[in-house]
Amino acid sequence: MEVKRIIVGPLETNCYLSISDNEMIVIDPGDEPEKILTEIKKIKIKPKYIILTHYHFDHTLAVLELKKKTEAKILIHEKEKDFLNFSVDLYLKDKQKIKIGNESLKVIHSPGHTKGSICLLGKKEIFTGDTIFENGYGRTDLLGGSEKEMRESLKKLSKILKPSMVIYPGHGNIFQYRKICLSYQKSKQLLINFKKRLSAKK
Ligand SMILES: [Zn+2]
Ligand SMILES: [Zn+2]
């Protein structure tokens, strides 16, 4: 799968164009639709789907403009339904496979950052939205977030991820799985510290 990153908006969201065998999808068009459309035009393939890793505005702001210009279908996990202010073409479920050319991306439901956060798993790559970054996991204190669900999701993902897999997060650097082992440990330590802080407050 060929992947092109476009950094958009004030929160520097990673929007991705993912291409396989003359088919393309857009992941998280968070802002600056013109910038994204320019890159799409360069590749000269009409996108098939716009997949949203979660509902937050910094991942969805350009979605309607892009749909208008490309007619691509909008896909998001069904648990984000109550948080959306635009209509969607297809609601996704855990383990659902999305075909792009010769390849496919598997939906991994990974709640914690939001109720319907997803990761998209390919053969050698995974798009993690705001669930996993190079230096840890996404915040859980926003609407729909849950520290407990995040912990479960990190556990689930640690079983799915393979060495040398490329991780495409929603913000920051693209990195390899080897590093994520470290950040998972770090994430666990963060959780332990967080829990200590909570119990100290009681
Ligand atoms: Zn987010
Ligand atoms: Zn974000």
The tens digit of pLDDT for each residue in 148-186 reads 999 899 889 988 988 889 999 999 999 987 655 545 556
Q: State residue 164's pLDDT score.
A: 83
Cα-to-centroid distance, 22 and ligand 2 (Å)? 28
**% of the chain with per-residue pLDDT over 90:** 78
**Mean pLDDT, residues 182-194 taken together:** 58
Rounded to the nearest angstrom, the distance between the alpha carbon of 127 and the centre of ligand 2 is 13
Q: How far is the CA of 108 from the centre of ligand 1 (A)?
A: 16
Centroid of ligand 1 to alpha carbon of 55 (angstroms): 7
Distance, CA of 80 to CA of 132 (rounded, Å):
18
| Per-residue pLDDT tens over the stretch 30-61 | 999 999 999 999 999 999 999 999 999 999 99
pLDDT of residue 202: 45
CATH superfamily of 2-201: Ribonuclease Z/Hydroxyacylglutathione hydrolase-like (3.60.15.10)
Question: Which DSSP letter does residue 176 get?
Answer: E
**Minimal CA–CA distance to 78: which of 64, 62, 66, 89?**
89
Closest CA to 8 of 41, 44, 37, 51: 37
- pLDDT at residue 191 is higher than 80: no
